[in-house]
Amino acid sequence: MPERTYRVGVIGATGAVGSTILDVLAERRFPASEVVPLASARSAGSSVPFDGQQLNVIELTEEMLGGFDLILSSAGGAVSSEWAPRFVESGAVVVDNTSYWRMHDDVPLVVAQVNDDAVEGHSGIVANPNCTTMQMMVALKPILDAAGIERLVVSTYQSVSGTGRNAIKELREQSRAVLEGEEPRAVVYPHPIAFNVFPQVESFKDGDDYTTEERKVMGETRKILGLSDDVGISATCARVPVVTGHSESVNVQTKQDLSPEDCRDLLGDAPGLVVLDDPGDGIYPTPTAVAGRDEVLVGRIRRDPSHERCLNLWVVGDNLRKGAALNAVQVAELLHERDLVRVPAGASLS
């Protein structure tokens, strides 16, 4: 393994994902010679915790270009569309958490321990998938390898931290208001989220009757698992009043027969997964059990009685850790291990 250390910039370091990236970089002792937290002018001059110290937050400006080896970016698609190519031009490899680059042909979309080899041949940007897609990939890859996949039907129950720090604040404030008999005020979401569930995660665009989140789940799943167009994928994404941890009901139709027992054994041996499956005793994954954990939890593994080659699974992951920050750092580790923290000569994003 190379002995290099890296100057690492974390864009969006004051946000829900960026602050978790700082935690994970420190916990996993990523070989950083320096970590620089970057954000907008709004929080420049404030400080963020990193590895027992407080680091000053620096505004993302032109002056920041140059001198970085690696950028971990989570400040929204608009920031990544503009700044990721500029950092690549300045010689840094960018691991991007936003949706902007994910479906770009020249950008690998990587879930660590699922499609690691995709990092080879990157052109300077490696994309981190959507949090909802990410955790499902960890559970589906072993099934794909063992029995093939013919069709997927996914329903999600997504926590508010998936929208960022303002949504966490909104859930807390609305909950307090409702308990005090006041009208909850909705700013981040189209409806109050406290004591509510709504079938809209992100937005409806251009008359599409699927949301942008549902489109991401369907498109990114196909790209990461290399599924052909004849594999059917259908997703419905709902927002629930949970702070952290996305839950998913996954109905998977396999090509070859796979019994629930064999599926349980298969997933029990898979990296990054923990099977919690004794429902009679109340043992199954929940968001409160997964918050703060690196592994994705899976349970309620059972036969779909309507189809002989269909299984139902309940998959729960911490959207801020495996769903975002942990995977971004794991991708950075992969790049380090394979000596790929370098922008290839002549690389360009066509």
Q: How far is the CB of 116 from ligand NAP (least distance, A)?
A: 19
- Ranked by CB distance to ligand NAP, the top (closest) residue is 15
Task: Compare residues 170 and 277 and give the one whose CB is closer to ligand NAP.
Answer: 170
The whole-angstrom separation of Cα 92 and Cα 99 is: 19
Least separation in angstroms between residue 236's CB and ligand NAP is 19
What H or E segment, with its residue span, contains residue 24? helix 16-27
CA distance 331 to 127: 9
Least distance between ligand NAP and beta carbon 176 (Å): 20
Count CB neighbours of 124 within 10 A: 22
Residue among 31 and 77 whose Cβ is closer to ligand NAP: 77
Closest-CA residue to 136 (of 160, 116, 152, 117): 152
Q: Which of 122, 246, 310, 336 is catalytic?
A: 246
At a CB cut-off of 8 Å and minimum separation 6, what does 249 contact? Answer: 154, 155, 156, 157, 312, 313, 314
Q: Which residues bind ligand NAP (CB under 6 A)?
A: 11-18, 39-40, 42-43, 60, 74-77, 79, 97-98, 131, 161-162, 164-166, 319-320, 323-324
- Please report how close the Cβ of residue 168 comes to ligand NAP at its closest, in angstroms: 8
Catalytic-labelled residue, pool 122, 131, 310, 336: 131
131 is catalytic: yes
The question of whether 246 is a catalytic residue gets the answer yes
Query: Smaller CB distance to ligand NAP: residue 246 or 275?
Result: 246
**β-strands 6-11, 70-73: how paired?**
parallel
CB 198, min distance to ligand NAP, A: 18
The residue among 236, 244, 260, 239 whose CA lies nearest residue 309 is: 260
Question: DSSP labels for 100-131?
Answer: TTTT-TTS-B--TTTSGGGGTT--SEEEPPPH
Residues 85-88: contacts with CB within 8 Å, 24+ apart? 85/124, 85/125, 85/349, 87/9, 88/123, 88/124, 88/125, 88/343, 88/347, 88/349
Minimum CB distance to ligand NAP smaller for 20 or for 115:
20
Tell me whether residue 203 or residue 348 sits nearer to ligand NAP (CB atom).
Answer: 203
- Please identify every residue annotated as catalytic: 131, 246
